[in-house]
Amino acid sequence: MRNDQKVFVAGHTGLLGSAVAGRLIHDGWGNVVTRAHKELDLTRQADVEEFFKRERPEYVFLCAGLTGGIGVNKGFPAGFLHTNLAIQDNVFEASVKHGVHSLVFYASSCVYPKGCAQPMKESDILTGSMEETSEAYAIAKLAGLKACRAYNKQYGGNCFIALLPNSMYGPHDNFDTESSHVLAALIRKIHDAKIRRSSAVRLWGSGNPLREFVFSEDVASASVFALENAWRLDNDCYNVGSGQEASIKELAAKVAYAVGYKGEIEWDMHKPDGAARKLLDCARFNALGWRPSVSLEEGIKRTYDWFLSVHGRKEDGCLQVQPQP
């Protein structure tokens, strides 16, 4: 690998893609190619084919995809299934046809069985039924994992690298309260409660489920590490996590502290919790020499600082919401 080789980061404006692009640039990669959705719709096969034919990237990070929290997963399962399958299939095929050396694909911890033994090992995949609330999205990601393995078997080598990060968060996340993942949703709801000077904020579920959160920049670091060590990898997926586990109640308290919110936190027991626990066993990937570096507390602070820089400003000691640009 050389720093002047062309790298395509698909989904560079999102949570993971922005972190990966930033990491590559920080590490001296000077030929990073990106395209906004309006410039390249990855669900359109002909457009993807033309892009790869013209640009000839040598490495690809497939960070693009349709993601969301429990609510939108339940409401739009067909959209999550179709969009993610289409993107994966188009990019995988174009990569093979146009000589990409290596591609990094990202799955999700929701591919693991509901009620899976903890911590979850890669060998546990397909040993039971998935959590119903995210089943369609999980099936698309599972198809991507199996596709990486199939392409490697058919074409040789470990050109398709499959990483399975746990719940990601960080700058450039989606902070919409209806469609975001849990940590970003908590930041937005608790921030808004502070702005309104509400005495209490009501959050989804019981607050009891346990989650492992990994900062987006740590996943970006793991991604570049995996690409640089592709020759050491098995033809299999690898868990990537922080090793830090917290209940949603504990997470809400940490977010409230970072935001500076002093009100009460209430729980809406009529809303779904999702899986009771999601902790990854990352021993196989960590054994290669990679480790996360950002604690949950530091990551929340950095994420909220970014949120304020984009969505808010301080005025007379009170934070005011600004419209997104």
Rounded CA-CA distance 214/293 in Å is 10
CB contact set of 9 (below 8 Å; sequence gap of 6+): 17, 20, 21, 24, 32, 33, 34, 61, 63
Would you call 45 exposed, middle or buried from its count of C-beta atoms within 10 A (0-12, 13-18, 19+)?
Answer: middle
- Its sign, for the CA torsion 256, 261, 266, 267, is negative
Nearest of 4, 11, 60 to residue 35 by alpha carbon: 11
Residue 280 corresponds to which tokens in the numbers above? 């990854």
Give catalytic status of residue 137 as yes or no. Answer: yes
**Torsion, CA 191, CA 194, CA 199, CA 200, rounded to 10:** 0
Work out whether strand 160-165 and strand 102-106 pair parallel, antiparallel, or are unpaired.
parallel
Task: Look at strands 264-268 and 200-204 and give their pairing.
Answer: parallel
How many angstroms separate the CA atoms of 136 and 162, rounded?
A: 19
What distance in Å separates the CA atoms of residue 122 and residue 281, rounded to the nearest whole number? 8
Ordered DSSP codes for 116-152? --SSBPGGGTTSSPBPGGGHHHHHHHHHHHHHHHHHH
The residue annotated as part of the active site, out of 59, 137, 151, 304, is 137
Which amino acid is present at 36? Answer: A
Query: Is residue 213 packed enough to be buried (19+ CB in 10 Å), middle (13-18) or exposed (0-12)?
Result: buried
3-state secondary structure of 14: coil
Active site residues: 137
